[in-house]
Structure 1
Amino acid sequence: MRNTITQDEAAKRVEEHIHAVVALLPKEARLEQGLSTPQNCDDPTDNGPRGRVTESHSYQIHDLPPADYNAYFDTIKQWWERHGYQILTDSRPKGMYLWAESKNDSFRISIKANDVGGFYVIASSPCVWPQGTPAPSE
């Protein structure tokens, strides 16, 4: 078992990924925080040990014109590609969903939108130990 960043550090880095996206949007964009909760990593896809958590935060972004959503998606996708993210899913034109993973730290981030004015950004950390080190009983 190896050490990880702490849960608090993961939460901070999740916010950094989100705010990097928001910085690409017009200054009128207004954030409304949604869920920001740690989730157990008891059945992790990496077959790692129990006791780890992931940090996941979501925001709805208001005051953006839906007619410009596709242009915002293009801007964000291009920024991600130039800044070390791998695009995992781009469901356009069928749907407005874009999902990427940072090659530097394995954090994942997505944006999604709908035609009734909903624009969302969600980011999550990889599995981390709450204190950055494995629990003594592990």
Structure 2
Amino acid sequence: MELIESSLAPHACLNDDQPDDKVVIGRAYWLRDVPTSENMSISQQVRAHWEAAGHRIVAVGRPGNPDLSGESRPDGFTLTLTWAEGDNLYLGAASPCVWPDGRPPE
């Protein structure tokens, strides 16, 4: 796996019911050296792993598309397996809205 550097920066929390100064922390990784012919197999393996771990699958790609979206239980992280241009896959995870320093400002 290869870290996608642009995934390192925190992003503003876009939930309307959350304070403006909360952020979402995420990470994404390219799955390098995976033959295109294996993309659907990888997707099936990732889905089985997430389900075995108790996570909820919230969306799947149309037939022939390996995209997956899930939600980790019980903490509510967003999980993604994404098919990108050039038949490349990447895995990502993003936190729910959190305080940048782990607690609300005083």
TM-score (norm 1): 0.68
Which of the numbers 60, 69, 90 marks the counterpart of 1:120? 90
Is 1:103 aligned to residue 73 of structure 2?
Answer: yes
Alignment coverage as a number of residue pairs? 104
**Structure 1: runs of 5+ lacking an equivalent:** 1-30
**Structure 2: runs of 5+ lacking an equivalent:** none
How far did 1:112 drift?
A: 1.6
Is 1:40 aligned to residue 12 of structure 2?
Answer: yes
SS in structure 2 opposite 1:88?
Answer: strand
SS in structure 2 opposite 1:116?
Answer: coil
TM-score (norm 2): 0.87
For residues 10-21 of structure 1, the aligned pairs below 5 Å read: none
C-alpha change, 1:96 and 1:115, in structure 2 (3 Å) is farther
Which residue number corresponds to residue 19 of structure 1? none
For residues 124-135 of structure 1, the aligned pairs below 5 Å read: 124-135=94-105
How many angstroms apart in 1 are the aligned matches of 2:56 and 2:3? 25
Which residue number corresponds to residue 65 of structure 1? 35
How far did 1:40 drift?
A: 1.4
Q: Which protein has greater RCO, CA pairs closer than 8 Å, 6+ apart?
A: 1
SS in structure 2 opposite 1:37?
Answer: coil
CA RMSD of aligned residues (A): 1.7
SS in structure 1 opposite 2:99?
Answer: coil
How many angstroms apart in 1 are the aligned matches of 2:26 and 2:84? 21
For residues 75-90 of structure 1, the aligned pairs below 5 Å read: 75-90=45-60
SS in structure 2 opposite 1:73?
Answer: helix
State the 4+ residue runs in structure 1 displaced beyond 3 angstroms: 114-117
Whether the aligned pair in 2 keeps the contact of 1:96 and 1:114 (CA below 8 Å) is: no
Whether the aligned pair in 2 keeps the contact of 1:81 and 1:87 (CA below 8 Å) is: yes
How far did 1:115 drift?
A: 7.5
